[in-house]
A and B are shown apart, each in its own frame.
Chain A
Amino acid sequence: MSASPHTLTPVGRSLRLLVLGIGAAVMLFPYVWMIATSFKPQAEVFSSGLSLIPEHSSILANYGKALGRIPMGRVLLNGVVVCLAIVVFQIAFALPAAYALAKLRFRGRDLMFGLVILGLLIPIHAVSIPMFAAFRALGLINTLAGLVVPFTLSVFAVFLFRQFIKAMPDDLIHAGRMDGLSEGAIVRRIVLPNAWPAATAFAIFSVVTHWNDLYWPSIVISKTELATPPLGVLFFRAAEAGDDYGALMAATVIVTAPLVVFFLFAQKAFIEGITMTGLKG
């Protein structure tokens, strides 16, 4: 790598660092500003000066409010439970379906794969009203199950895994059959371990999406103790009459922090996942 013809001169390298640095600063600024605001008392938030370091720290007051006014621990736990349940079901359902679409021959397979592609084109917003009606009839409104169920079947996961499994050699599957594995055992013992990079990449996308999702939770949940993190922030703002920005930013920091930490730990897998799937932006 270091000896590649693309090695830059020191000047070129400095220039590259500068450009990347400016880009990073622009991207990071709102988040840093949010953290800074969460440290400031009300008066400073509205002052005209542009300062990152608060003159009078209001950390304890702001974070105290954020943790006290709504059951923040409960909200974070809801987020963890919902995201985990969604991702586990998504993989459990999508992997066998993707295996069948990639490696088995049966009548209507191509039609079904066409339907999967079609499914990719339908956003949840298009079907949310009929789904809301159905969920109310089923008694799933204001339950955690109501947050999980609509997402357990991910056509995106089926599509992604199908492409990944398609690239696995047929002989690997044949070897499994010769060794006495049933189709289910092949999915569990051969396909899953070898599709692990795709599964990790998908899991990261799924967790990020559903942790940050506000749309569907705001439709099915109206109770604070069932709120997911972003909905929790919304409830918090309502409870705070909306203009205590220091506390609001503190709540936002608490809600986004787990994802940031998760990213820092899973950074390598995350980047590998994105490059592997060819998905960017």
Chain B
Amino acid sequence: MSGLPESFAAIEGVEPARLELDGVSKSYGETTVLDRVSLTVARGEFVALVGPSGCGKSTLLKMVAGLEFPDAGHVRIAGTDVTDVRAADRDVAMVLQSYALYPHLTARQNLALPLVMRRLTGRQRLPFVGRFLPGTRAQLAAIGADVEKAGRALKIDHLLDRKPAAMSGGQRQRVALGRAMVRDPRLFLMDEPLSNLDASLRVHTRAEIVDLHKALGATTVYVTHDQEEALGMADRVAILHRGRLLQVASPEIVYRDPSRIEVASFIGSPSIGLIEAVIDDRGRAIVFDRPIAEGFAAQAGATVRVGIRPEHLRIGGHDDAILPARLDRTEFLGADALAHLRLPDGAPIVAKATPEIYRGFVPGPVGLAWNAADLLVFDAAGDRLRPRFDAATVTAERAHV
């Protein structure tokens, strides 16, 4: 829909690079910002690094870029250890969260600067004199042409002679994208490039960045705090929480099969409902004296947290209910609707379905039901507990209660 692929086919891409982070740690004084992070991004892959604000995403990205240096661990790009190599020598491009366009230069000059720095020699870059050295003119002409081409591809050609102050947020974002992309990076880093755009522009630009990645084929690490963005755009999602990488997997896997409770909580909107339960001597999870899941090897008396996604929570009559609850209100969202509920102890939980299903629901007592196979159960430490055998028998168990 954006027409980017054709326009960019003309730009010769360099070999995309493989990126390896190996036990990378970083502290500022007492605070550990990153704790032994290891991550491999394959050549040409698009990995989204996602996590709540302040979890260390930007710090990790800066370490890949060479703007920060790890206290321990290694960074390898295309097989070469670059842990101590400065940013200028890494040949990595980055779109910064604030865009950081040079305010004193026009968009054209902003786009040209990285090319000037890389393609001209130190002497050719000298003011006045450099222009007359052999080869300078040809190089400058080639740079000008490449800038024009990138400008056309990103549809910013009409902005090229403006300074950043005279552009809208969306236009600045495109220029920042252009500046990073114009030099065919082998590794492309983006730090929340859409967070400063309004909602409609964000969805549109999201699609464009995915198209751009397909066209350029550059290895891409994309940082965002928006889990929806991460799920929608990336080949794989890496979830960072308090400086630790919790899980790296495809969007489907991190959603359906999270390995940690923080992953389950962070991914999905509205977020997963969590019910505290106790394991009894038969390996069943008990809530309000009712078994709601079974087959756990955990010790009797251990506390577990049972997670259930809003779309897996069914609201029905009292007869087939696993747990009683109270419906507070329903919320119409268009294609979906939400039901805000309270468990017997007053804890809130949310269910999601199509609006038709909730039509006619009135606040009051209801029963909650689900398929045992959809439950995600975590132990007290937050690690995933998997039932030893098919939990379909829970229904049978309930008959006895």
Binds A, one of B89-97, B280-288, B390-398: B89-97
Q: Does A260 contact B (CB under 8 A)?
A: no
Q: Does A194 contact B (CB under 8 A)?
A: yes
Which chain A positions have C-beta within 8 A of B100? 169, 171-172, 174-175
Q: Does A55 contact B (CB under 8 A)?
A: no
* Cα–Cα, bound, A34→B173 (Å): 59
Contact across chains for A180 and B88 when beta carbons are under 8 A apart: yes
* Cα–Cα, bound, A176→B114 (Å): 8
Contact across chains for A174 and B62 when beta carbons are under 8 A apart: yes
* Cα–Cα, bound, A179→B97 (Å): 16
Expressed in whole angstroms, the minimum distance between the Cβ of B183 and any Cβ of chain A is: 8
> Digit string of B83-125 for contact with A (CB within 8 Å is 1, else 0)?
0001110001110111111111000000001100110000000
Expressed in whole angstroms, the minimum distance between the Cβ of A56 and any Cβ of chain B is: 56
A174-B87 contact given A179-B179, A180-B114, A193-B104, CB 8 Å threshold: yes
User: Can you list 22 A-B pairs with a CB-CB distance of less than 8 A?
Assistant: A169-B98, A169-B100, A171-B100, A172-B103, A174-B87, A174-B96, A174-B100, A175-B94, A175-B96, A175-B101, A175-B179, A178-B67, A178-B87, A178-B88, A179-B114, A179-B179, A180-B88, A180-B114, A181-B117, A190-B102, A193-B104, A194-B103
Contact across chains for B96 and A171 when beta carbons are under 8 A apart: yes
Contact across chains for B96 and A179 when beta carbons are under 8 A apart: no
Q: Does A208 contact B (CB under 8 A)?
A: no
> Digit string of B56-82 for contact with A (CB within 8 Å is 1, else 0)?
000000100111000000000000000
* Cα–Cα, bound, A180→B348 (Å): 52
Contact across chains for B114 and A174 when beta carbons are under 8 A apart: no
A177-B67, A185-B117, A194-B103 provided; 16 other pairs, C-beta below 8 A?
Answer: A169-B100, A172-B100, A172-B103, A175-B94, A175-B101, A175-B102, A175-B179, A177-B87, A177-B88, A178-B65, A178-B92, A178-B94, A179-B179, A180-B114, A180-B117, A193-B104
Contact across chains for A171 and B98 when beta carbons are under 8 A apart: yes
Q: Which of A175, A176, A180, A189 has the most CB of B within 10 A?
A: A175
Which chain B positions have C-beta within 8 A of A14? none
- Per CB-CB distance, the 3 closest pairs between chain A and chain B, nearest first, are A180-B117, A171-B100, A177-B87
* Cα–Cα, bound, A196→B103 (Å): 12
Chain A residues within 8 Å of B, Cβ to Cβ? 169, 171-172, 174-182, 185, 189-190, 193-194, 196
Which chain B positions have C-beta within 8 A of A181? 88, 113, 117
* Cα–Cα, bound, A193→B104 (Å): 7
Expressed in whole angstroms, the minimum distance between the Cβ of A243 and any Cβ of chain B is: 54
Contact across chains for B97 and A189 when beta carbons are under 8 A apart: no
* Cα–Cα, bound, A100→B209 (Å): 36
* Cα–Cα, bound, A185→B98 (Å): 22
Which chain B positions have C-beta within 8 A of A179? 88, 113-114, 117, 179
Contact across chains for B67 and A180 when beta carbons are under 8 A apart: no
* Cα–Cα, bound, A182→B87 (Å): 9
Task: Across the interface, name the chain A residue whose C-beta is closest to B65.
Answer: A178
* Cα–Cα, bound, A179→B86 (Å): 11
